[in-house]
Amino acid sequence: MLEINDLRASVDEKPILNGITLSVKPGEVHAIMGPNGSGKSTLAQVLAGHPAYEVTGGTATYRGEDLLEMEPEERAQAGIFLAFQYPVEIPGVTNAYFLRAAYNEIRKSRGQEELDPMDFLDLLESKLKLVDWGPEIMRRAVNAGFSGGEKKRNEILQMAVLEPALAILDETDSGLDIDALRIVADGVNSLRSPERSIIVVTHYQRLLNFIVPDFVHVLAGGRIVKSGGKELALELEAKGYEWLTGVPEAA
Amino acid sequence: MTETYLQAFAADATVPAEAVPGWLEALRKAGIERFAAVGFPGLKDEDWRFTPVAPIARTPFAPARPPAAPVERAALEPFLFGHPEWATLVFVNGRYAPELSTRPALPGGAEVLSLAEAVESRGELLAAHVGRHALAETTPFAALNQAFARDGAVVWVPAGVELAHPIHLVFVASADAGGTVTHPRNLLVVERGARAAVVESYVSLGGEGSYFTNTVTEVAVGRGAWLEHARIQREGDQAFHLGYTHVDQDQDSHYRSFTLAMGALLARHNLHARLNAPHVETLLYGLALTRGDQLADNHTAIFHDHPHCNSWEVYKSILDDRSRGVFNGKVFVTPEAQKTDAKQTNRNLLLSPDAKVDTKPQLEIFADDVRCTHGATVGQIDEIAYFYLQSRGIPRERAQTMLTCAFAAEVVDEIAIPPVREYLTRLVTERLGGDR
């Protein structure tokens, strides 16, 4: 699915990723953990094509294609989805219009027919249930005036509708209470399948109680400093990051 | 070329074809005298420094004439909205066109008629209002309009009457209007406790050359009355459009305006609202869409002369190519106008590095117990917003259209009359290349 080799990236000429190597196979769930500033969010955003980051070295191959050569929309059309840490507010564009536009652009890129508004509503109905929402949310402007929890749920709704092959969740758990966390986790778990890969970027082990990963990687200083199974997350929870990174965690 | 107009005025006076009452004769004379005295404004004139009217001044525009071939009703279809039976007054090259107009009976004796007709049948009403709200001293073009005030629309809604449907006033420039000037003079009177919605459209049927529309609309909103007013300026792309709307509001009245500027090579609209009594509410929304070498100038002035009045103003512009935008928003609060609540916002979206905006909020506040705020922004679409849409599979070009339409929707959505709002949403979305 995804092969990352010695990936390096910087923002404003400041290196953030210093050689990441990672292989994600279909059906696998990988957790990327690490303290603040370790580069874990940067990795997520670089994979989605965020314009602020400059890739300075290494490769990333997605389903045999050079990911780094693709525009952000081409990555989405190819099946990559990034759930944003800070979802963007788009006043004046309704959730319904936005999501249908995205859904149809992706279909169009694959030579499939676009769904008309009525058929799309049918599709939405089941997806809304996943995040425990009624249809009224679709008439609101995208994320505008949404609470932090609502924004994260909206990301999961988008993911459920767009059905990506590779979903990347960037700190989707941050700032969520336990109920919202459960809704988000249920949404993600419902998407787990042998064909679909998920990368969960998180600071805390808590989310991994609900979304149980196959692999856990710890980032520090823009590199993976340790990889292991799901038990690694528990170890981190008990010991903190310091024993791996050698630096006390910033407050 | 002030001379062009002085000669035209003199020539006009020798034509006794239309009986003109003394008060109107005096008004016209005062108008031309004022114009002769001040002439066209130049760039040194503070009020006109970003809006060069020299091309208007140096072109000897001839008085408008009827089109060579009659305008067909079908040609107007793209400019109409709502139900075909709603009151629609059409003016072609400045002259009322009864054969293109729809005049259903209105409730409560309300009337929609041409200025020429109203001179005959509603002389008293006109004498009480025309030239009393929009003063010739305000701008040279207002004086010029007053000098040549011959035709235009008159809407009269008597006390307590509520009109169920919007009234549409359509000013059409025919395809052969090039080289000519019109001076439509409109009057909207909504009396005590009455309610109405009026839409003014300035449109072109295409054609070569530039023409000049110099229009004035006077608005009187009576005590407790309610008026929704929309103004759609979609003149031909070589046209010059100068407009001045003056609103006088009485106690407890509500006036809401939406102005759309998307046509003309050079367009300027002055919208002045005077709040003449306490507890008045004034809402001004505006949207300017420019591209190519267009310039759209919006000058607004809100006069808070009495306590406990609210004014709320949001003007936006979206500029592409080398186009120019000008915004000047004055808010005057006199010492008597305590408890004034006034908010002004001007936001400008640049789609091209060559587009430019000059924006100037101008608040003059002489009362101490007031809440007055203003803010102006000029910027491009946020890269993060682009990225968010692109990361969902939406190509950048479509993302730009979506975000631009959304920027416009924030003001268009404020139009209170659903059929007007829907029509303008469609119009603006089409212009911006969207698909809603």
pLDDT in tens, B244-272: 999 999 999 999 999 999 999 999 999 99
Mean pLDDT of chain B: 95
Write the pLDDT tens digit of every residue in B142-155.
999 999 998 999 99
Task: Tell me, yes or no, if A144 comes closer than 8 A to chain B by beta carbon.
Answer: no
Residue A87 touches chain B, beta carbons under 8 Å = yes
Give the pLDDT band (50/70/90) at residue B435: confident
Segment B336-365, tens digit of pLDDT:
999 999 999 999 999 999 999 999 999 999
Whole-number Å distance between alpha carbons of B171 and B94: 7
| Contact: B393, A50; criterion CB under 8 Å | no
> Which residue among B383, B389, B406 sits closest to A51, beta carbon to beta carbon?
B383
* A vs B: CB pairs below 8 A: 83
Nearest to B393 among A50, A73, A141 (CB): A73
B253: left (phi over 0), alpha (psi -120 to 50) or beta: beta
Q: Which residues of B touch A82 (CB under 8 A)?
A: 391
Q: Is the pLDDT of residue A178 over 90?
A: no
Distance CA B379, CA B382 (A): 8
Please, what's the largest Cα pairwise distance for chain A? 56
Please give the average per-residue pLDDT across A19-33, as a whole number. 95
pLDDT per residue as tens digits for the range B275-294 = 999 999 999 999 999 999 99
**How much is the pLDDT for A242?**
79
Close Cβ partners of A57 (under 8 Å, ≥ 6 residues apart)? A6, A7, A8, A19
pLDDT at B16 over 60: no
d(Cα B145, Cα B118) in Å, to the nearest integer? 18
pLDDT at B15: 61
DSSP 3-state assignment of A62?
strand
Q: What is the mean pLDDT of residues A201-209?
A: 88
Q: Do B385 and A92 touch (CB under 8 A)?
A: no
Angle between helical axes of A148-162 and A178-191 (0-180°, round to 10)? 10
Question: Does A94 touch chain B if contact means CB atoms closer than 8 Å?
Answer: no
Summarised one tens digit per residue, pLDDT across range A5-15 is: 999 999 999 99
The DSSP 8-state label assigned to residue A131 in this structure reads T
High-pLDDT (> 70) share of chain A, %: 98
Mutation site for B-interface testing, chosen from A90, A103, A170 by largest number of B Cβ within 10 Å = A90
Of A157, A152, A119, nearest to A138 by C-alpha is A157
Does residue A48 belong to the interface with chain B, where contact is any CB pair within 8 Å?
Answer: yes
Domain spans of chain B, in order of start:
2-277, 383-436
Q: What is the mean pLDDT of residues B388-393?
A: 98
- A80: nearest CA in chain B? B391
Cβ contacts (< 8 Å) between A158 and chain B: which residues?
A: 392
pLDDT of residue B436: 57
- Per DSSP, which regions of B12-51 are E strands? none
CB contact, 8 Å: A151 with chain B?
no
Average pLDDT over residues A130-155: 92
Mean pLDDT value across residues B289-306:
98
Does residue A250 have a pLDDT over 60?
Answer: no
Using pLDDT thresholds of 50, 70 and 90, give the confidence band for residue A251.
Answer: very low
Residue B1 is which amino acid? M
3-state class of B98 per DSSP? helix
pLDDT band at A180 (very low <50, low <70, confident <90, very high): confident
A85: DSSP letter: S
CB contact under 8 Å between A93 and B403, yes or no, is yes
* Set of chain A residues whose Cβ sits within 8 Å of the Cβ of B398: 101, 105
User: Hey, are the CB atoms on A49 and B390 less than 8 Å from each other?
Assistant: yes
- Over residues B216-239, the mean pLDDT reads 97
pLDDT for residue B302: 98
Mean pLDDT of A197-201: 96
Residue A248 banded pLDDT, cuts 50, 70, 90: low
Least confident of B16-20, B213-217, B228-232: B16-20
Looking at residue B418, its pLDDT comes to 93
pLDDT higher than 80, residue A32: yes
Distance (Å, rounded) from C-alpha B261 to C-alpha B289?
A: 6
Closest to A158 measured CA to CA, from A222, A216, A90, A210:
A90
Q: Which chain A residues touch B386 with a CB distance below 8 Å?
A: 51
Q: Which of residues 185-244 of A touch B (CB under 8 A)?
A: none
Q: Do B392 and A109 touch (CB under 8 A)?
A: no
Tokens standing for B8? 């035209």
What would the pLDDT profile of B123-132 be if each residue is shown by its tens digit? 999 999 999 9
CB contact under 8 A, A102 and B393: yes
Distance of CA B232 to the CA centre of its chain: 7
Name which of B391, B406, B407 is nearest A72 (Cβ-Cβ). B391
A41-76 burial string, b = 16+ CB within 10 Å, else e?
Answer: bbbbbbbbbbeebebeebebebeeeebbebebbbbb
Question: Could you tell me the two tokens for B373?
Answer: 């705020």
Question: Exposed, middle or buried, B431 (CB in 10 Å: 0-12/13-18/19+)?
Answer: middle
> Measuring CA to CA, which residue among B307, B252, B260 is closest to residue B284?
B260
Encoded amino acid at A70, one letter: M
Q: Looking at the partner chain, which of B387, B410, B436 has a beta carbon nearest the beta carbon of A50? A: B387
What is the average pLDDT across B406-428? 94
Give the whole-angstrom CA distance, residue B343 versus residue B223. 23
C-alpha to C-alpha distance for B291 and B294, rounded to whole angstroms: 6
Mark residue B30 as left, alpha or beta (left: phi above 0; alpha: psi -120 to 50; beta: remaining): alpha
* Among B387, B391, B407, beta carbon nearest to A92: B407
**Residue type for A171, please?**
E
Residue B102 burial (CB count, 10 A): 16
Name the amino acid, one letter, at A85: Q
Contacts of A91 in chain B (CB under 8 A): 406, 410
Of all residues in chain B, the one with the smallest CA distance to A158 is: B392
CA distances, B391 to each of A73, A145, A188, B161, B399 (Å): 5, 21, 18, 54, 11
In 3-state terms chain A splits into helix, strand, coil percentages (rounded to 5) of 40, 30, 30
Whole-angstrom distance, CA of residue B105 vs CA of residue B198: 16
Identify the closest residue of chain A to B412 by CA–CA distance: A92
Instruction: Tell me what the mean pLDDT of segment A199-213 comes to.
Output: 90
Is B387–A49 a contact, with Cβ atoms under 8 angstroms apart?
yes
Query: For residue range B52-83, what is the model confidence (pLDDT) as tens digits?
Result: 999 999 999 999 999 999 999 999 999 999 89
Average pLDDT, stretch A107-128? 92
Single-letter code of the amino acid located at B228 = E
Provide the ipTM: 0.95
- pLDDT > 70? residue A140: yes
Is the pLDDT at B17 greater than 60? The verdict is no
Pairing of strands A215-220, A223-228: antiparallel
Specify the pLDDT at position A238: 82
CATH topology of domain A2-245: Rossmann fold (3.40.50)
Please answer whether residues A171 and A201 qualify as being in contact, where contact means their C-beta atoms are separated by less than 8 angstroms.
yes
The three-point CA angle B166-B167-B172 to 5° equals 130
Q: pLDDT at position A179, please? A: 86
Q: Which residues of A touch B405 (CB under 8 A)?
A: 92-93
Handedness of CA A73, A79, A80, A84 (dihedral sign): positive
**Chain B interface, Cβ < 8 Å to A:** 382-396, 398, 402-403, 405-410, 413, 436
- Torsion angles phi and psi, residue B11, rounded to 5: -65, -40
Confidence of residue B22 (pLDDT cuts 50, 70, 90): confident
Cβ burial of A204 (10 Å; 0-12, 13-18, 19+) is: middle
From A114-128, B157-171, B313-327, the region with the lowest mean pLDDT: A114-128
**Tens-digit pLDDT profile for residues B196-218:** 999 999 999 998 889 999 999 99
Q: What is the greatest pairwise CA distance in chain B? A: 70
Specify the 3-state DSSP secondary structure of B142: helix
CA atoms within 13 A on the CB side of B274: 11
Cβ B402 vs Cβ B389: under 8 Å: yes
B205: phi > 0 → left, psi -120 to 50 → alpha, else beta; which? alpha
| Tokens found for residue B262 | 């998307």
8 Å CB contact of B388 and A84: yes
